[in-house]
Amino acid sequence: MAPEETPMTSDDRMIFRSAEIISVGTELLVGQIVDTNAHFLSEQLSQIGLSTYRHVVVGDNTERLEQAIRHALTDNDLVITTGGLGPTEDDITALVAARVAGVSLVSNRDITDRLESRGRYVSPGYPLIPEGSRYFHNDNGTAPGSLTFFTLNRSQKAILMLPGPPDEMEPMFLRYVRPVLEMHSAAKFVHRYVRLTGIGESRSEDMIRDLIDSQDEVTIAPYANPGEVVFRVSQRLESGDDDKTDEAVEAIVERVGEFVFEIGQRTLNEVVLDMLVSRGETCAFAESCTGGMLASSLASIPGASKALLGGFITYNDEMKQSLLGVPRDILEGEGAVSEECVRAMADHCRLRTGADYALAVSGFAGPSGGTEDTPVGTVYIALSKCSGLTVKRFFFRGDRERVMRQSVVAALNLLRRGMIDG
């Protein structure tokens, strides 16, 4: 029987008010692995309107895990565990959860049949799930998930157990568990994203200060990535509530529209690639200080070959001269980090590749290098297209990695604007 078909019980009408996530595994406590499961689950729960009150990490220790689950259940009606569901001695989660729920562990014919039909070795007496629980198949491993409802001190509680490996847990959650949790949520959260580039976090925040200060049902949360500012617009919706996030997004765009490259989830490289593909145009890159990062930012997206032709990594002067024909007098006069140099790089790159657009980047990423007039953090970026050439000088703060990342973002944005301007 598929999990969607497991019989409804009165517990299926329980509304979860809050959840605590317990990540089980000594390797988490000793710093061997990072707890990405809690991060993933919190994001998912917030999308379906379930509040997460606490994250806890516990080693593979029966008493401490039982203590943690009992403590979590005093403040929350749902406890979600990940990890410790395997067949070995130190996999204690199911045992402890069943003890807390006051039920025994049982095997389930449907789960074992399905594992065997997939050619999985099933060790005797494994897997066991708490009696009466709703179970979730593991399409990528052997440990099933389970959701157990029970009464503790006259309150209705539930424990959701999920496997530890993210490549098992995440697909299981998305495919089987989330639809079930949605039925137990009284609300859902709507999140919209307005993404900006070419402007800093504080300036953009100042431009929408009154919207942030007057937020009520709709909240606006700004955050920054290198070269990008994101405004997350969220609203908690209960049945009958109007979704007001569109209005809030419109109000933001009215103020900062010239910097907005996306209303949604796409990153700048995805936006640029989609624009190129929809216009049937191509690009190529001549990179110095970004050392290939620019090309790789597009190449990392499936389908990049529809628009990305290739490019040149011309890190030293000889390569700029021999591969891109940058004249020696520019390299010796104005220098490699100069408007003249990126102009020549971009033009030659476009001519040699036949691309519709060629971007060239040259700068001082640091920590050493630079001159009094051209300090570390100075980056020149040129865009060559058949209707002309644009050059911009930027000054980026931060370490080498940050300067390189900001250069990539600025270059992609120059290309984006170049396409819009025609």
Written as six digits, the tokens of 273 are 């690639």
Question: Quick one: 166 or 370, whose CB is closer to ligand ATP?
Answer: 166
At closest approach, how far in Å is the CB of 60 from ligand ATP? Answer: 8
Point out which span in 5-13, 138-146, 240-248, 266-274 binds ligand ATP (CB under 6 A): 138-146
Q: Which CA distances in Å does 116 have to 6, 84, 141, 283?
A: 20, 22, 12, 51
Does 208 contact ligand ATP by CB under 6 A? no
Q: Which of 19, 22, 28, 404 binds ligand ATP (CB under 6 A)?
A: 28
Point out which span in 10-18, 20-28, 192-200, 203-211 binds ligand ATP (CB under 6 A): 20-28
Non-local (6+) Cβ contacts of 112 within 8 A are: 122, 127
Does 19 contact ligand ATP by CB under 6 A? no
Does 166 contact ligand ATP by CB under 6 A? yes
Does 145 contact ligand ATP by CB under 6 A? no
Question: Quick one: 3 or 25, whose CB is closer to ligand ATP?
Answer: 25
Q: Rounded to an integer, what distance in angstroms lies between the CA atom of residue 216 and that of residue 180?
A: 30
Question: Quick one: 36 or 305, whose CB is closer to ligand ATP?
Answer: 36
Question: Quick one: 28 or 342, whose CB is closer to ligand ATP?
Answer: 28
Is residue 44 within 8 A of residue 91, CB to CB? The reply is: no
Strands 78-82 and 18-24: parallel
Question: Quick one: 143 or 260, whose CB is closer to ligand ATP?
Answer: 143
Does 67 contact ligand ATP by CB under 6 A? no
Sheet with 378-385, strands from edge to edge, namely 308-313, 283-287, 357-363, 378-385, 388-395
Q: Rounded to an integer, what distance in angstroms lies between the CA atom of residue 241 and that of residue 126?
A: 46
Secondary structure (DSSP) of 109-149? HHHHHHHHHTT----TT-SEEETT-EEE--TTSSPPEEEEE
Question: Quick one: 33 or 190, whose CB is closer to ligand ATP?
Answer: 33
Hey, which residues between 71 and 90 contact ligand ATP (CB under 6 A)? 82-86
Q: Rounded to an integer, what distance in angstroms lies between the CA atom of residue 83 and that of residue 85?
A: 6
End-to-end Cα spacing for the chain: 57
Point out which span in 23-31, 193-201, 202-210, 224-232 binds ligand ATP (CB under 6 A): 23-31
At closest approach, how far in Å is the CB of 86 from ligand ATP? Answer: 2
Question: Quick one: 162 or 342, whose CB is closer to ligand ATP?
Answer: 162
Written as six digits, the tokens of 277 are 């593909």
Does 35 contact ligand ATP by CB under 6 A? yes
At closest approach, how far in Å is the CB of 167 from ligand ATP? Answer: 9
Helix, strand, or coil (residue 62): helix
List residues binding ligand ATP (CB under 6 A). 23-25, 27-28, 33, 35-37, 82-86, 91, 141-143, 163-166
